[in-house]
Amino acid sequence: MSGNRAVAYVGPGKVEVRDISYPELILRDGPGVNPLNVGRKCDHGVILKVVTTNICGSDQHMVRGRTTAPSGLVLGHEITGEVIEVGRDVEFIKKGDLVSVPFNIACGRCRNCKERNTHVCVNVNPDRPGSAYGYVDMGGWVGGQSEYVMVPYADFQLLKFPDKDQAMEKILDLTMLSDIFPTGYHGAVSAGVKPGTTVYVAGAGPVGLAAAHSAQLLGAAVVIVGDLNSERLAQARSFGCETVNLREHANLAEQIEQILGVPEVDCAIDCVGFEAHGHGHNHGEAPATVLNSIMEVTRAAGRLGIPGLYVTGDPGAVDADAKVGTLKIRIGLGWAKAHTFVTGQTPVMQYHRDLMMSILSGRAQIAKAVNATLISLDQAPAAYTEFDQGASKKFVIDPHNLVKR
């Protein structure tokens, strides 16, 4: 078969498009591949021709040099593609199927997978439970910001779109099923959003916007989105959210009171994570800001959904504690208010089929909410820079130029 091209992490602030080898149904050694995963046979896997693959805020943590990602790591965990080769042990997925790949890699055979906790599968990453394509410390599965990619455990993991032509019409929505739509939705579900609730969403990046749209789909009465980026807040207002500019207004509770008449919401979702900025002008990074502020503004007995990423190692952290993921969280306040916290990767497979149906029926408008923006593979390095500067866009790479412009 022919070659393959992919977006690779080079070093802090730098990614480039490189020639890499064409995938096989085996995990070969390469940058970031865990030695215990080298040579792992994947006859249960498929090769995909990538149709769309999105750039994520999670990639940015690596590209900003805020993780221990090795140079040469091929990026990309948000993958949608067409099956062009099936392994010997694949029974139900067929050549020609158009599929969404959950960003977590899951075996379908371990205790956690059997309990639907596919975000902490114990068989795919020798370092710890949980894995993803193209990500540091996740076992070394090759990323999918590329022309072709291998996906293991295909029968278990892949979500097949029922009709290819219909799917290509809505591909900018369906491409969000690999990660951010289920992630935003999981944030909203785990925060207990239901008809009539008031919700605060921290962060107006793609995940925050997906959480806000999900909260609307679940029937929230009012969705308030906070960020320091006015362009992203305007995007949130474009589909009916209230917004708080935390650069202009450092006191979140006061702003919530102006909107709701009370300084509290029923539930909150952290769509920021460990690179959080302090509120107000002239504030640098303050990694516990969002966790502490959502405890402050969420009512007693409320639930906090925390899809925002927190790490166990951050070379660029503000202090020695934060370098190992130890943050100054006011847990006494959360305890006093009897809050429930839900953290971790999203168990994508719990949600992706339902959300696909809500897209295909026209109910969910996720591409519009996150401002899906189509680019070529060669435009990816520039898109990384633009996204890092806070552009209010969710970049969708179309490596084979298959999507109608």
Ligand X SMILES: NC(=O)c1ccc[n+]([C@@H]2O[C@H](COP(=O)([O-])OP(=O)(O)OC[C@H]3O[C@@H](n4cnc5c(N)ncnc54)[C@H](O)[C@@H]3O)[C@@H](O)[C@H]2O)c1
CB of 404 to ligand X, least distance (A): 25
**List 189, 309, 364, 367, residue binding ligand X (CB under 6 A):** 309
Report d(CA 46, CA 152) in Å as an integer. Answer: 6
Within a 10 A sphere around the Cβ of 334, how many other Cβ atoms? 20
CB of 135 to ligand X, least distance (A): 10
**List 121, 188, 256, 311, residue binding Zn ion (CB under 5 A):** 121
Closest to ligand X by CB, 204 vs 397, is 204
**List 6, 15, 20, 107, residue binding Zn ion (CB under 5 A):** 107
Closest C-alpha to 289, from 273, 302, 300, 309: 273
CB of 235 to Zn ion, least distance (A): 18
228 scored as a contact of Zn ion (CB under 5 A): no
CB of 182 to ligand X, least distance (A): 8
Report d(CA 232, CA 230) in Å as an integer. Answer: 5
> Which tokens go with 331?
């847990």
Q: Give the pairing of strands 148-151 and 79-86.
A: unpaired
CB of 126 to Zn ion, least distance (A): 13
**What single DSSP character describes residue 22?**
P
Closest to Zn ion by CB, 56 vs 349, is 56
Closest to ligand X by CB, 122 vs 233, is 233
327 scored as a contact of ligand X (CB under 6 A): no
345 scored as a contact of ligand X (CB under 6 A): yes
201 scored as a contact of ligand X (CB under 6 A): no
**List 82, 173, 179, 296, residue binding ligand X (CB under 6 A):** 179
**List 44, 277, 303, 339, residue binding ligand X (CB under 6 A):** 277
Buried-state track 112-141, b at ≥16 Cβ within 10 A, e below 16: bbeeebbbbbbbbbeeebbbbbbbbbbbbb
Closest to ligand X by CB, 42 vs 79, is 79
CB of 104 to ligand X, least distance (A): 8
Helix H or strand E segment including 10: strand 4-11
Choose the one of Zn ion, ligand X, none that binds residue 272, judging by a C-beta under 5 to 8 angstroms depending on kind: ligand X
Closest C-alpha to 131, from 147, 148, 114, 153: 153
Report d(CA 400, CA 107) in Å as an integer. Answer: 29
246 scored as a contact of ligand X (CB under 6 A): yes
HEC assignment per residue over 316-373:
CCCCHHHHCCCCCCCHHHHHHCCCEEECCCCCHHHCHHHHHHHHHCCCCCHHHHHCEE
Q: Which residues lie near ligand X (CB under 6 A)? A: 56-58, 60-61, 179-180, 183, 202-208, 226-229, 232, 246, 271-273, 276-277, 279, 289-290, 307-309, 345-346, 390
Q: Which residues are near Zn ion by CB under 5 A?
A: 56, 58, 78, 106-107, 110, 113, 121, 123, 179
